[in-house]
A and B are shown apart, each in its own frame.
Chain A
Amino acid sequence: MTALPAVEELTYRDAVRAALREALQRDERVFLMGEDVGRYGGCFAVSMGLLEEFGPERIRDTPLSESGFVGAGIGAALAGMRPIVEIMTVNFSLLALDQILNNAATLLHMSGGQLNVPLVIRMTTGAGRQLAAQHSHSLEGWYAHIPGLRILAPATIADARGMLQPALDDPDPVLIFEHGSLYNVVGTVPDGTGGVDITSAAIRRPGTDVSIITYGGTLATALAAAEQLAEQNVAAEVVDLRVLRPLDDAALVDSITRTHRAVIVDEGWRSGSLSAEVAARLVEQAFYELDAPIERVCAAEVPMPYARHLEQAALPQPEAVVAAARRTVATHA
């Protein structure tokens, strides 16, 4: 057997950093801006070392002015630069919601096609680290509500490495949500750099009995559930949405056409959520393929609590996904 080329193991954090470094190297117009991205090395150490390599003009520390520096990113993008703006957490991004919605997502249409905004905004999302209710929420579904934005949720090392460049190549604003629990996950990137698409969902585990549809931080939850289900002779297919807006409807319908059952796993709250949108689309587009009611496993509808046992109780767990999947397969058409 011929030896395969050595594939380096790296963390999700390393993968994001490698993507940032490559983007900064290949295009002078690219710069990174955000709170503590420079001297501190990034709140989650993602940009460690980039200040030394690219200097303070391109690795730009900002004051705590989310609306100000996100808006500045939009302005710089309009003026021909390719800014990457980092917001520490999705909860903080609410301070910049005016700029993201009223300007980044809106200017192209409102100007009759004159002002596209080639901006990338990265931010951390999600719970699981006992950071309580102002640092732990999953609000990417809110952003997925907004026409004019592309919303990405890299759940794998390959996507963390590969999604940034196509996001920068996109003429319109792209938001990348990095689940905070993923930064230390170790894996490989198949072909080293791995260009990926930012349009389609991906099947992470094929199956025939039920589709578990998820994204981001709960991909691991879904895969763990699928493993347990396999031991119970239920072949679950795990679909990673990857792109939360625009949703890859065709991939969802394809999967349901194979399995006829769906469990949606979403760390966001259930009411008025991304999980609700996915469920609605399945009902609209694949109603006659469904052999069982759609199940949803979401975060409990509470502000995320601090205590570990409470936080874990509030989050989607593999056992709840298994139970939901078993309910769907217990229903026979």
Chain B
Amino acid sequence: MTATTKRTARAKRSRGHPTSTPTTPDRPELYRQMLRIRRFEEKCVELYSAEKIRGFMHLCIGEEAVAVGVMQALSADDAVVATYREHGQALARGLRMETVLAEMFGRSTGCSRGRGGSMHLFDSSLRFYGGNAIVGGGLPLAVGFALAEKLRHSNRVTACVFGDGAVAEGEFHESANLAALWQLPIAFFCENNRYAMGTALEREHAQTDLALRAASYGMVAWSADGMDVLAVADAARRAVELVRESGEPCFVELHTYRFRAHSMYDPDRYREKAEIAQWRTRDPLPALAHRLRSDDVVTDADLQRMEDEIEAEIDAAIQEAEAGPLEPVEELTRFVYSDPGARP
């Protein structure tokens, strides 16, 4: 059967494929978005210490290039299924900072009306579907989004972001198989930060080349530098184009690192300080800032203005979020079921 042959033929790794016409990304804008996420999360740490944010909070500091690079490749019609380390992805997708903060403050003006918190940011108007805190649990959902698009013959892409930990879950393998078997328009983005909470990649996977594992399902799979937003943007753009044009899935492994602990509760005893320091030398922000300056694309004054504008945005967002009302306790059980009269 030709389909089988075709799948077998594609069951090999593809590095640097597929090719597509290069476009020039708006490098200062990519930098600005990463900086915005970095400063936002640094402020979140302060707010957490001040006990204004509670619960589990997972920061993507160090991984901003993944969030920004992937989200800029998508169009408004595409769907995003993300993880619980999703502040950066949410902001890059376009969720308003004040609704994200309001959510973490537990306000009814939060993007999930105070029912989700840091790990469960949603905005259906932006087709941003979480905010999934069961590792691997978002992957089957993404398969379903892609299946719906295939059945409707649309050309919308579903982007599914998950970590290296999820690749050890059965749901990853079921989802990869379904996506390849049914030829679904889904782009899998594996944000490989080398740790499943405290368990290092080498201690969680027999085969640590995660793109190779995905390729075994018969989809195009490759790796890219997740610490370089231009590399991520290029890989993501090519992945999304491939999926949109072929209707088939693909897998991109983005090598990255979180500079901070797994969550605010994590004493981070399982990593060597030298390892963290080594990865910090590859911080995606100063690297790009340096290139932008040396290419005379921005001046120091431009960068300072960015800092100032972001600081002002964050301050205003905090004020607005704090002014938001708490969800009335009478609304506690609302949304367990759809409101009466609601029809899908």
> What residues of chain A have their CB less than 8 Å away from a CB belonging to chain B?
31, 57-58, 62-63, 65, 67-83, 98-99, 102-103, 107-116, 118, 147-148, 150, 169, 171-172
Contacts and interface: CB of A to CB of B under 8 A. Distances in A.
13 contacts: A65-B177, A68-B143, A72-B141, A76-B144, A76-B148, A102-B134, A103-B137, A107-B130, A108-B335, A110-B112, A110-B116, A112-B112, A150-B337
Contact of A103 (B141, B174, B334): B141
B247 interface: no
Q: Which 8 A-B pairs have the closest CB atoms?
A: A75-B144, A71-B140, A112-B113, A68-B174, A79-B148, A65-B174, A72-B144, A75-B141
Interface stretch (B120-128, B275-283, B295-303): B120-128
Contacts of A109: 115, 335-336
Interface in B306-344: 334-339, 342-344
A150 B338 CA distance: 12
A72 B178 contact: yes
A63 B122 contact: no
B189 interface: no
**Which residue, B131, B140, B177, has most C-beta atoms of chain A within 10 A?**
B140
Contacts of B335: 108-109, 111-113
B111 interface: yes
- For the complex, would chain B's binding face be called helix, strand, loop or mixed by DSSP majority? mixed
A298 B27 CA distance: 68
Q: How large is the interface on B (under 10, 10 to 19, 20 to 34, 35 or more residues)?
A: 35 or more
Contacts, number: 146
Contact of A75 (B110, B147, B338): B147
B145 interface: yes
B130 A111 contact: yes
B144 A78 contact: yes
A71 B337 contact: no
Interface of B: 79, 81, 110-116, 120, 122-124, 129-132, 134, 137, 139-149, 151-152, 170-171, 174-175, 177-178, 181, 334-339, 342-344
A65 B144 contact: no
B336 A110 contact: no
Given A67-B140, A71-B139, 16 more contacts: A31-B151, A65-B174, A69-B178, A71-B141, A74-B144, A75-B140, A75-B144, A79-B79, A79-B144, A79-B145, A80-B148, A102-B134, A113-B113, A114-B123, A115-B129, A171-B342
A194 to B, nearest CB: 22
A72 B150 CA distance: 12
A109 B130 CA distance: 13
Contacts of A74: 140-141, 144
A98 B124 CA distance: 22
A118 B339 CA distance: 13
A118 B123 CA distance: 18
Contact of B337 (A72, A79, A82, A148): A148
A107 B138 CA distance: 11
A102 B131 CA distance: 12
Contact of B178 (A31, A65, A82, A171): A65
A67 B170 CA distance: 9
